[in-house]
Homo-oligomer: A and B are copies of this chain.
């Protein structure tokens, strides 16, 4: 502990994962003064996320068909 969980969309670029983990860890160490920080990146496919009652997958489709 602390353990930080990030629920977000799919991240294809490992460089982005690297900077996400590094950036969050720095902020958390600064806040709590504890070095043992774990960060879990959770990637959610667009058909498994709803925003405002609609699947993200359906929003994408709607946009593409404009």
Contacts and interface: CB of A to CB of B under 8 A. Distances in A.
Interface of A: 1-9, 11, 14, 16-32, 34-44, 47-58
The 7 closest A-B pairs by CB, nearest first: A21-B50, A23-B27, A39-B50, A2-B8, A25-B53, A41-B48, A20-B31
A15 B52 CA distance: 17
Contacts of A52: 25, 35-37
How many copies of this chain are found per oligomer? 6
Contacts of A5: 4-5, 7
Contact of A8 (B1, B39, B42): B1
A38 B28 contact: no
Contact of A51 (B1, B6, B24, B27): B1
